[in-house]
Each structure stands twice: as C-alpha cells, then as structure tokens.
Structure 1
Amino acid sequence: MRPAAPPTNPWFPTRQANPNARLRVFCFPYAGGGASVYNGWGAALPASVELVAVQFPGRERRIMEPPFRKIPALLDALEPALAPLLDKPFIFFGYSMGTRVALALAQRWQARGAPLPLGMVMAAAGAPHRERDSRDELDDGAFVELLRKYEGTPAEVFAHKELLEMVLPVLRADFAIADAVLPALPVRCPISAFGSHEDPHVSLAELEYWRELTTTGDFRSRHFPGKHFFLRTAREPLLAALREDIVRWCPEVGP
C-alpha cells in the first residue's frame, strides 16, 4: 500500500518537492494571476533548483477566499507558510504586483536580521519606493477599461457580466497592492530588473530606479521584446536570463 501523499499547502499548490535541491526560487505572480502562470518554469532551470510558485487567496484553487488589500496583512499570513521552506538558500522572482510582495518581504526580514534572498529578479514593474497614481478610486467602468489596456485579462471575462463581477474584487485588491508605495529601504541582496521594450505601463527608464534598492552594487537591467506580459511572449529568453542570474548568485546549482 502506497503511503498517502502529504497534503498540499494552499500557498504552494503546484510545488514539486525536490529533496536534492540546493536552492529554491519563490515566484510571486502579477495582479489577478495565480501559481499556474509559472507552470513549466521549473523544467527550464538547473536540476538542483526547486521552483515554488506562490498562490495568493482569491484565485484559482483559492477563489473562495477573500483577497488581501494590504501588504502587511498579506505578509503576516504568508510568512508562516514560507518558514519551513527557508532551510535552503533562496531567490525571489516577482512579476508586476509580485515585485511589491517580494521586496516587502526582504525589507521586513532585513529589519529582523533574518536571512535574505541570494538575489531578487523584479520584472514588469517600476521601483515601488517612487510615488505613483493610485487606481483605487476608479469606478468599475474606468477600472475595466484599465484592465483592457493591460491585455492580461482573458476576453471571456469581459464577455460575461457574472464572471467579471466575480473577479473584479480580486483585481481591485491586487491593484491596491500593486499601487502601494514601499519605503526607500535598500536591501543587502543583488537585484535584476526585467522589462520590455514596448510596455506602455513600465518604461525602461523606470526599471533603473530598482538600482536604488540594493546596497550591494550588484544591479542589472535586462530588456525583452513584447509588452507588459512579456513573460508569455518572450518566455524562453526570460527563462534563460533567470537561469543565468540563478547560476551567478548560486554557482553550486550548476549550469
């Protein structure tokens, strides 16, 4: 009789534990996205790397759970789930909204004197210590038009009123997190900023401000073809760049 499989942690529903891993890469999704956006990424990384995609409440398998609107409350809930997985070196990858969560975690842990990521890859987002306009006051009509401009929400969502009404609270909560301005507190780990040439929401110049958030002097800016969701349209070059950063920050994982 086979032993029962361990219960899946709702924060990491797609995680495939790798007992031989020398490094973990925690991936934080964009607004409205779930852990599934990182499906297949693990196979493109060195064999001794375990990819852990984070699932926030309010989407995919956690669709019945209320989403978080404030970063501190989200971190309070997430940290206990992360704690058992911090027994190995780790790296953060954040995409758009996910960059805010990743940086806020690193800032919180640095203040405590806790171990930090070996490096952070921040993609499709300007540096979060710079002031920006909040989208929280937009009415539903204006907010839906904003979603259309991002080109990240499936067309069928806009075509079905009931489905749109179901996902709007999650997207509004996520945009509140994405618009959060974080303290200008540099962290003691390298940062790579990934952006795209045609992203109408994040200019290549805005990527450079991430340089101000690392004390190490190790900052790189990488540019890819495509618009805001270049993780879809430039998947292979993005993963190659991520793999290069991983090996640079943690050579023992191998090529």
Structure 2
Amino acid sequence: MRPAATTNPWFPTRQPNPNARLRVFCFPFAGGGASVYNGWGASLPAGVELVSVQLPGRERRIMEPPFRQLPALLDALEPALAPLLDKPFVFFGYSMGTRIALALAQRWQARGAPLPVGMVMAAAGPPHRPRASRDELNDAAFIELLRKYEGTPPEVFAHKELLEMVLPVLRADFSLADSVLPSLPVRCPISAFGSDGDAHVTLEELERWSELTTGGFRSHHFPGTHFFLRTAREQLLAALRGELVRWCPEVGP
C-alpha cells in the first residue's frame, strides 16, 4: 500500500510512490489547477510518480493571491520542490506551464544544479520570442480572449460573480504566460506536443522549441484545438509514456 497523499499545498493530489524511479512534475495552463492531471498516473508506467503542481489562487488555494511574475513564483516554488528532487525527474508543462518549466530549468542550469532528464512542452510556442502582452486589455476584451481559447467553462461566463472571482487569477496567469525568457538552450531534451487545429500555437511555432535545447528535440502532433489534453487525452498520454520510457528506461513499460 502506498503512503497517504502529502498535505503540501503545492502538491495536494500527490500519492507518494516509494518504488518510483522517476517523478513527473506537471505544471498547469492558465486558470488550471492540480486536478487537471487527475487520473494521469494510472496511464503511466508503474515506476513513475506523478506530481501535479498547485499554484496559489485556485482550487484548494483559492484564498491565496496568485503570482504575476515568474521570478517570485519560482522563489516560492523551489523550496517545495527541493525535497522531491532526490530521484530523476521530468517536467511537463501545458501552455502557461511551459514557462514555469523552462524558467526553472534555465535557473538550475545557471547554478549547475541537476536538470530534468527531459521536458515536455505542450500547447505553447517557445517563450524566447517577444509577444504582445495581454495585461493592457480591458475586462471586456480579456473576457472575449478567454472565450476564444475555449478553456473556461461556459457557466463561468454565465455568472457575473463567479467571473469576477476568477478574473484576477486568469489575468495573473496570462501575465506569467506572456513572460519572455532568455534564448538560453538547456542541456536536457525537449519534446513539444501540439495540435494541428490550435489557433493560438502554430506547428511552425511549436518546432521552434528546438532552439532551446542542446539535448535533442522531438515533436508530436495531436488532433483537436488548444485544449487537446482533453479531446486527445489517450493519444497524449501514450506519447508521454513513450517519452518517459525513452528518457528513463528503468520505469518499465
């Protein structure tokens, strides 16, 4: 029997696996919480421990203010991650989460600290190319942008009070997502996951993740739109499983 789930607020759904040979840290998209990755662990090799990262401002941490700047977020997150880096690990970032994953890897590489054995960057273009910030959008324009992403449940838009409650978190997350990072390649391999129907990230942009690694690059394309992690879940998990086994064969099939 596995030990009970940790009570660390950063990893509220973690189920410690003492037999794990590899940990996979999953970072969410804007507005998403740790529950986004519920059930994923059962689809991965037995030697993998899935660790979903819960950022402040959502789900069980809804009363905490969200972070708007990556450096402050990393400063707060690193002490929580430190005890879990005693085994090989992988980063999985989805959309906004790719910024957190890459920023950590770049920071640790600069320090000479251990790096992930691989990183999966999904539903995002690389963050070393400047892009227009969404900070200046008024609420009406920002809400219209959220509708275009098709990731916010319709009931949120239908209830004014609920929308007003989640807007500050979403705005903070979009600030993180708009972060421009140095064009500093990391030594760990990167696999980019994208969708041929994503109106926000072209397949050409996806391929530019190759510019940010000296450790090897692959890309995988899935059917669907920006949130293909919902509509192509099984295909995505099969591809992720393949990458984990490739990077760390000890996890088993």
Query: Retained in 1: the 8 A contact 2:70–2:100?
Result: yes
Q: Which residue of 1 aligns with 2:181?
A: 182
For the structure 1 residues 104 and 112, does the alpha-carbon distance in structure 2 shift closer, same or farther, using more than 3 Å as the test? Answer: same
For the structure 1 residues 6 and 143, does the alpha-carbon distance in structure 2 shift closer, same or farther, using more than 3 Å as the test? Answer: closer
Shift of 1:7: 5.5
Aligned residues: 251
Pairing 1:87-166 to 2, within 5 Å after superposition = 87-166=86-165
Shift of 1:150: 0.3
Q: Which residue of 1 aligns with 2:226?
A: 228
User: What is the TM-score with the length of structure 2 in the denominator?
Assistant: 0.98
Shift of 1:215: 1.1
Q: Which residue of 2 aligns with 1:208?
A: 207
- SS of the equivalent of 1:194 reads strand
The 2-side partners of 1:248 and 1:129 are apart by 27
Q: Which residue of 1 aligns with 2:238?
A: 240
* Structure 1 ranges of 4+ moved more than 3 A: 4-7
Alignment-mate amino acid for residue 253 of structure 1: V
Q: Which residue of 1 aligns with 2:77?
A: 78
Shift of 1:254: 1.0
Gaps of 5+ in 1: none
Query: Retained in 1: the 8 A contact 2:126–2:208?
Result: yes
Q: Which residue of 2 aligns with 1:26?
A: 25
* 1:45-97 C-alpha deviation (Å, 9 max, x unpaired): 00010000000000000000000000000000000000000000000000000
The 2-side partners of 1:6 and 1:235 are apart by 24
The 2-side partners of 1:224 and 1:209 are apart by 17
Query: Retained in 1: the 8 A contact 2:26–2:51?
Result: yes
The 1-side partners of 2:135 and 2:6 are apart by 37
- CA RMSD in angstroms comes to 1.0
- SS of the equivalent of 1:9 reads coil
The 2-side partners of 1:16 and 1:139 are apart by 41
User: What is the TM-score with the length of structure 1 in the denominator?
Assistant: 0.97
Pairing 1:58-77 to 2, within 5 Å after superposition = 58-77=57-76
